[in-house]
Structure formats: C-alpha cells, structure tokens
Structure 1
Amino acid sequence: MNSKINSKIDLKIQNGYTLETGSLIDESVNTFKKTFLISGVAVILLAIFTILIYGTILVLIYGLSDFTSTMTEFQASQSSAVGMLSTVIIATVTSAFFAPITAGFIHANHLAKNNQEIGINVFFDFYKSTFFKDLFLSHLIIGLTGGLLSSSLSLINLEILTYFVQLFISMVTVFTIPLVIYGGQNYENALTKSFKLFLKQPLLIFVALLLAIIGVFIGIIALCIGIIFTAPYYYSMVYAIYNQAIGFEEKSVIDEIGQEEF
C-alpha cells in the first residue's frame, strides 16, 4: 500500500472534502464522451457473457427441460426462503466475478481524462492484477448484504423498500472500487473507508448518483438500445466523484503498482 496515498485518504476522512455538482457533471460528461463507444461494446460483451453464465447455471440446476418449464420452476422457487437464499448466493458470487470489469469501466475514465489509449482489453485487465482478490471480496460482501436485506424485505411483503436499500448500499460503497485500484486499499479498508468518506458529503453524492442514473435511463427513452451506450455514464460519475474527493498524485498508485502487475 502506498503510504502517501493512504495518508491522503485518511486525511480526507478526518477533515472532509468538497464536491461541486456542476463540476462533477462537466467532468463525468467529458470523460464519458471519450469512452462511450468502447464502453458500449464492453456492455454488449458483458451482456452476452452474463446470459451464457446464468443460462448455464439454470440448466445445471434445473436440467435440460424446455425453457418455459425451467423458468416456471425457477420463478416458483423464489417464493420460498430457501429459494431466495439460493438465488442471492448464486447471483452474488456470479456478479462478484464481474467486479474487475466494473473496475475496468471506472479505469477507462481515468485513461480518457489523461488522454491515454483505451482498448477493449482495459475492461478485463484487472482479472490479471493483484487487485482481483479485493475487488471480488468487496463485491461479494456488498452483494450478499444487499441481497439478504432485499430478500428479507420481500418475505415480509415490503418489496418497495428494497429499492431504497439498494440505493443506500450503492451510495455508501461508491468509493470502494476506486479505493482498491487507485488507493491500494484491501477490501476491508475499502469498504470501511468508503462508508466514512460517504458520510462527509452524503447529500451531494446522492444528487450526483441520482443524476447519473437519470442519465443512464435516457438510453431507455432512446428506443431502449441507447441504454447500452448510456449505462457506462454511471461509472463516469463514480470516477468524477473519486477524482474530486480524493484526487491523484502526478503518478497514481495504479501507475506505480497496478500497470506492471497486469
């Protein structure tokens, strides 16, 4: 762990930091404009991989029966606590394996901001880095927490609250992946420090992420397919929040220890 960056992060936790909504929008839009095409291609590839993975899991669990009966059986299992728990575990473990790709979406904005070349490999490079373990474990903890809380609320017929739970978890963990890949934090410190950093500017982070979500859903208005290219805007905003809150040295930890480990 880079002691200089670690001290800087701890100082921000202690003394706070400033965020400016207009500046966040400007920065996120600027980096998004440079990344949306390559990010859109990555979203398509990710969607294909996700369908293949979940389809394989369903076949392994429910067998090679026809699709309709398989999905009917799957949906019926969701009404039970055991079925919900199984689904949460499977979905969380699977999504945790995609955490390095999420890191790639965020890092693409860092490259764009610094006018560096962005290739499709950027979205998969973190699988080869020493960050993989902490990215996987942090996503696993986040996913299990959100999944278990949402399932519990569904069982007591409070499904509407699951959206607020997921939103809250997204906000308090917004710094987690950047803290791992740029701050050199392990998954425990990244989760803990993300929560503490969030508490310094909760309202502005909420507004920024809400604007990002609205920006993403503009893609649905654009004949649905537009969301393929607008979805990565969320990560442009996450990067902008981290950059404005923590910032980078002239040579960031990702340059010092990350690139040589890919």
Structure 2
Amino acid sequence: MKNVKDRIAEITTKGYELDFGTVFENAFENYKKIAVYAGSMLLIFTFLFIILLFGIAIAVFGVGALSEFIKPGNLKPETFTGDFLLIYTACVILITCLLSPFQAGFLKMADCGQKGEEFHVSTIFEYYKPPYFINIVFATFTITLFSTGLSTLAEQAGMPFIGIITSLAITFLTFITIPLIVFGNLNATEAIKSSITIILKQPLVILGLIIVAFIASLTGLIAFCIGIFFTMPFLYSMEYVLYDSIIGIDSVSEIDELGSNV
C-alpha cells in the first residue's frame, strides 16, 4: 500500500485523474448506506445543541437581555460595535472548533458504511480523542479564523461580496483537510497544506462535485425543512469519496508503517 505522504508527493508532481460521474455515483451509493442513521443523529443532536446554547445564553445574559438582542432591529450589521464583532467572531470560532470532531464522526460513519461495518451513536464521537481531537480542532481553528476574520474585515470595509467569496474560497481549498487528518494521520498544518495542493490540481471537477452535492443536500428543505437533516449527509459522503478517490482509504500513514514494522 502506498504511503499517504508519498501519494501526496506524487500528486504534487504528476497530478491525478478524477472522473465526475464515477465520484458522484460512488458518493450517492455511500450516502444511501448512512442517510437515515446519519440524518437522525444530525436532527437529534442539532435540537439538543440549540436547547443547550439558548440555556447558556439565558443563564449568562438573562431572558430580558436576550429577548432585546434578537429583535430584528438589533440584528442589523450596521448596529454591531467593534467589541460585539470581536466576541461574535470568537464565539463562532469556538463553537465551530468544538463541533468539528463531531462532524468528522460522520466521515467515520461513511467509512463504516463503505466497508459494510456496523456504526452506532458512539461512531460520531470517534474523534473526540487523541491524537485526532487536537489536530482536528487546531485545523478548524486556523481555517475558521482566517475565513471569519477576512470575511468580517471585508464586510466592515463595505465589501461584503468580497468577504463571501474569500470565505467560500478558503472553505473550498481546505475541503479535504479533515479526511487527511482522520484517515491519513497528518497533523493539522500538513493536512491544510496538502488539501490546498490536492484541490488546486483538479479545481473545476472538485468544485462541480461540491456544488452538486450542496444543491442535492438542500433538496431536504422541500420536506418541511426537516428533510435537510437527512440530505445533508450527502456532503459528508462526497467528502469521504473524494478523499478515497484521490488518496485512497487503504493508503497507510507513517504511524501505521512504524506499527507494522515493530
């Protein structure tokens, strides 16, 4: 089996082939294996998270202050102060980082589905443990800091469109960062750099696949919006299959090689 870093080095010099139809078909087949279970987990834990978030907000700020804040007139960007934007950015980054191993768990679920293995509720918490947790959180922190920070700066400069484009570009280029960590055992910095390198070798094909997967995931909005929880896992299946098609799930990391030689 090829070493992950050797495969990335090969991609850097020679590139790789990626067939749109094959990747899409494989992603859809993988999605069918996890859709119901993954969708149920997304629905339940999103509901619980919202309750927890509001509970914390009420405990910290009080019902009156929270009710005043969520009034439509107070949610206009021009009313936000510098301190509020700083706190808002920090909260977004913190929440995103804490939830990132949870989202990575759906990649593990996709892997189990692909291999015909059983998966349970505990599967989506697979990466809340070392060495994955630190690398996933640090990678997410770095990506979100740049994405949110640059987007906020652009919006404050009166160029919200530039901010949106910048944020989307960063998200696109780092799309397979987490799979590189959980399946390739790369550290956060290596995974981010490698994701950018890999994506830039086939940007149009990958962009097309992501756009199609995103549109497909939004079809759940038709079913009283609840369906979105059951179509959203298609994005995770696409992320998983993209990584498998480019790097290969059976590729081994340096850690695995060392273990096999002991």
Deviations for 1:179-199, whole angstroms, at most 9, x for unmatched residues? 101111000111111111111
Over 3 Å counting, the alpha-carbon distance change for 1:56 and 1:165 in structure 2 is: farther
Do the aligned partners of 1:216 and 1:231 also contact (CA within 8 Å) in 2? yes
**2:39 corresponds to which letter in structure 1?**
G
Do the aligned partners of 1:85 and 1:148 also contact (CA within 8 Å) in 2? no
Query: Separation in 2 of the partners of 1:256 and 1:147?
Result: 35
Do the aligned partners of 1:62 and 1:70 also contact (CA within 8 Å) in 2? no
1:135-150 matches, within 5 Å, as: 135-150=136-151
State the identity as a percent: 24
Deviations for 1:195-249, whole angstroms, at most 9, x for unmatched residues? 1111101111110100011001111123311101001111111111111111132
Calculate the TM-score normalised by the size of structure 2: 0.88
1:135-214 matches, within 5 Å, as: 135-214=136-215
Query: Separation in 2 of the partners of 1:214 and 1:120?
Result: 27
Per the TM alignment, residue 150 of structure 1 is displaced from its structure 2 partner at its CA by 1.3
**1:242 corresponds to which letter in structure 2?**
Y
Do the aligned partners of 1:32 and 1:109 also contact (CA within 8 Å) in 2? yes
1:70-89 matches, within 5 Å, as: 70-72=69-71, 75=75, 79-89=80-90
Query: Separation in 2 of the partners of 1:79 and 1:70?
Result: 11
Per the TM alignment, residue 107 of structure 1 is displaced from its structure 2 partner at its CA by 1.8
Query: Separation in 2 of the partners of 1:53 and 1:186?
Result: 31
Residue equivalent to 1:52:
51
The yes-or-no answer on 1:26 pairing with 2:25 is yes
**1:119 corresponds to which letter in structure 2?**
H
Over 3 Å counting, the alpha-carbon distance change for 1:21 and 1:41 in structure 2 is: same
* Higher mean C-alpha displacement, 134-143 vs 43-52: 43-52
SS at match of 1:128: coil
1:105-116 matches, within 5 Å, as: 105-116=106-117
Query: Separation in 1 of the partners of 2:160 and 2:49?
Result: 25
Per the TM alignment, residue 95 of structure 1 is displaced from its structure 2 partner at its CA by 1.1
RMSD: 2.4
**1:34 corresponds to which letter in structure 2?**
K
Query: Separation in 2 of the partners of 1:85 and 1:144?
Result: 11
* Higher mean C-alpha displacement, 47-56 vs 113-122: 47-56
Calculate the TM-score normalised by the size of structure 1: 0.88
Query: Separation in 1 of the partners of 2:47 and 2:223?
Result: 21
Query: Separation in 2 of the partners of 1:7 and 1:154?
Result: 41
Residue equivalent to 1:37:
36
Deviations for 1:108-130, whole angstroms, at most 9, x for unmatched residues? 11111111112121111111242
Do the aligned partners of 2:57 and 2:66 also contact (CA within 8 Å) in 1? no
* Higher mean C-alpha displacement, 59-68 vs 24-33: 59-68
Query: Separation in 2 of the partners of 1:57 and 1:3?
Result: 48
Query: Separation in 1 of the partners of 2:67 and 2:83?
Result: 22
Query: Separation in 2 of the partners of 1:176 and 1:189?
Result: 9
Per the TM alignment, residue 105 of structure 1 is displaced from its structure 2 partner at its CA by 1.0
- Unmatched segments (≥5 aa) in structure 2: 258-262
Between Structure 1 and Structure 2, how many residues are aligned?
254
Query: Separation in 1 of the partners of 2:166 and 2:45?
Result: 25
* Higher mean C-alpha displacement, 88-97 vs 165-174: 165-174
Query: Separation in 2 of the partners of 1:36 and 1:76?
Result: 37
SS at match of 1:117: coil
Residue equivalent to 1:69:
68
Query: Separation in 2 of the partners of 1:71 and 1:181?
Result: 38
